């Protein structure tokens, strides 16, 4: 049984590869740093965060990127002992490739491929050549490429206009039984999202398109899984095939989601020469399969752990100098406010992976607290709810703050008893984010204020929970994360 999603929370646009020993999934990260997260599993069962591709080591920066810009969908491939990752930086570089002999790096500097379009992919053919695809104006484009330097061997050519013509993107090509199979997403990455397949004798086409999607929940309006698409296929060593793809889980209300797009998996059947995902293009939370996946364990980050070895995210900032670890503690030195447009706030974030969770940390209230420090439910700089402590006129205050669109306000401001440390807790369910200080509720925010459907501009991320500091320092004790 596959327990979907296999990688939960904000982990969209998955791509999968196998290096002979383990399976690797790459997901997009947008304005969050480090860029392009990689998860691994030896048996498709237990998935764990391994590393990220774009980091300090290859000089990568997200400075000045807009919300939901930065790094879009990636493709991960393994060929002749080398890992290849292609993705799109929407802030200047466009589509590029980076490679490494080791999954843990170092990864090469990014080699630019083509400045326009998104969703690049690589297909290593049996004859040793590499074919490159991406989306572009009016369809899918492709040509042969040198994947080691990103140089296209000839200009991009349109190989398929798609089926509907709307948001034709996320192409991948596979070689099977003397044919080339092209799959791609259409309908946009919202509720009309679905996956189309084509096949051709020549890699440049023309591609015969299957009229019925190979993956679609567009007609399952009340199903708990929506927006399925952006698939990548992988042939297993025994000749069977699997697919990974994105989807969203609904908390119970129609057309409302707050966890972001997540990574799902299902088996692939070949029917009349076509790849079909799941049960005739439909998938379930408990997906029938001989593969037995485990459910994710809650993530807790101890301040004795290595920041780079954990699935922590920061907003645009490389900024390790903002985080100073002591003996079981972490001091966060402030930079920008959480609400600053294109800012680099001092915060560490974990993806919210379940609707019902308990997230917590402890904050010292001695002289180490020189500003505002606390916990946050963070979607982006326009949508967040925060509980922080600060000293004013010799008294300790607990402040609950909300930011929605262009409105920011203090919802509550209460004096607190001065203790050496205060436990800050964020409880979530399918309706609310509820903030506590030392067990007392200080405020709550509805999940609607973190739902992608309610954002002012097109957004592609999900809700994250974390710790932060503004206007000074804050010292957190032991660690932070989700309680087991």
Which residues are catalytic, by number? 13, 169
Residue with tokens 């004798």: 201
How many Å apart are CA 326 and CA 45, to the nearest integer?
36
Residues 6+ apart with CB under 8 A from 470: 334, 337, 338, 345, 346, 371, 372, 373, 388
As a dihedral over the C-alpha atoms of residue 451, residue 456, residue 458, residue 463, rounded to 10 degrees, the angle is: -30
Instruction: Give phi and psi for 255, each to the nearest 5.
Output: 55, 50
When computed from its CA atoms, the radius of gyration of the chain, rounded to whole angstroms, is: 23
The b/e string for 449-462 (b: 16+ C-beta within 10 A; e otherwise) is bbbbebbeeebbbb
The maximal CA–CA distance of the chain, rounded, in angstroms, is: 77
How many Å apart are CA 258 and CA 203, to the nearest integer?
39
Eight-class DSSP state of 195 = E
Reading the block at residue 408, the tokens are 């920011």
- How many C-alpha atoms does 299 have within 13 Å on its Cβ side? 23
The strands making up 82-89's β-sheet, listed across from edge to edge, are 75-79, 82-89, 94-100, 111-114
């Amino acid at each position: 049984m596959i327990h979907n999603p296999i990688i939960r929370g904000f982990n969209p646009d998955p791509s999968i590869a196998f290096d002979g020993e383990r399976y690797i999934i790459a997901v997009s990260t947008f304005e969050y740093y480090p860029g392009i997260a990689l998860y691994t599993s030896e048996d498709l069962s237990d998935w764990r965060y391994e590393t990220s591709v774009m980091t300090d080591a290859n000089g990568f920066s997200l400075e000045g990127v807009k919300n939901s810009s930065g790094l879009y969908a990636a493709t991960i491939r393994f060929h002749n002992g080398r890992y290849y990752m292609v993705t799109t930086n929407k802030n200047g570089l466009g589509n590029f490739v980076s490679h490494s002999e080791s999954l843990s790096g170092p990864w090469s500097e990014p080699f630019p491929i083509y400045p326009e379009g998104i969703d690049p992919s690589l297909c290593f053919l049996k004859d040793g050549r590499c074919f490159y695809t991406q989306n572009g104006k009016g369809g899918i484009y492709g040509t042969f490429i040198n994947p080691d330097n990103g140089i296209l061997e000839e200009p991009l050519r349109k190989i398929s206009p798609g089926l509907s013509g709307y948001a034709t993107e996320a192409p991948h090509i596979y070689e099977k039984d003397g044919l080339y199979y092209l799959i791609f997403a259409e309908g946009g990455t919202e509720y009309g999202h679905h996956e189309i397949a084509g096949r051709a004798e020549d890699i440049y086409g023309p591609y015969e398109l299957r009229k019925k999607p190979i993956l679609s929940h567009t007609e399952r309006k009340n199903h708990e899984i929506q927006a399925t698409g952006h698939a990548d296929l992988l042939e297993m060593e025994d000749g069977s095939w699997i697919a990974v793809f994105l989807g969203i889980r609904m908390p119970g209300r129609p057309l409302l989601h707050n966890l972001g797009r997540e990574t799902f998996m299902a088996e692939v059947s070949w029917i009349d020469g076509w790849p079909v995902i799941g049960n005739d293009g439909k998938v379930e939370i408990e997906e029938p399969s001989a593969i037995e996946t485990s459910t994710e364990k809650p993530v807790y980050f101890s301040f004795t752990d290595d920041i780079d070895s954990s699935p922590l995210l920061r907003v645009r900032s490389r900024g390790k100098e903002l985080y100073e670890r002591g003996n079981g503690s972490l001091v966060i030195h402030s930079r920008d406010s959480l609400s600053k447009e294109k800012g680099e706030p001092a915060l560490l974030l974990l993806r919210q992976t379940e609707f019902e969770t308990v997230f917590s940390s402890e904050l010292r209230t001695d002289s180490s607290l020189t500003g505002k420090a606390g916990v946050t439910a963070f979607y982006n700089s326009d949508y967040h709810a925060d509980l922080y402590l600060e000293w004013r006129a010799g008294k300790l205050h607990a402040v609950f703050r909300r930011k929605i669109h262009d409105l920011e306000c203090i919802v509550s401001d209460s004096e607190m008893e001065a203790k050496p440390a205060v436990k800050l807790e964020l409880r979530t369910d399918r309706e609310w984010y509820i903030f506590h200080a030392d067990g007392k509720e200080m405020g709550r925010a509805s999940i609607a204020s973190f739902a992608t459907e309610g954002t002012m501009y097109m957004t592609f991320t999900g809700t994250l929970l974390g710790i932060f500091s503004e206007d000074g320092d804050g010292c957190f004790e032991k660690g932070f994360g989700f309680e087991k």
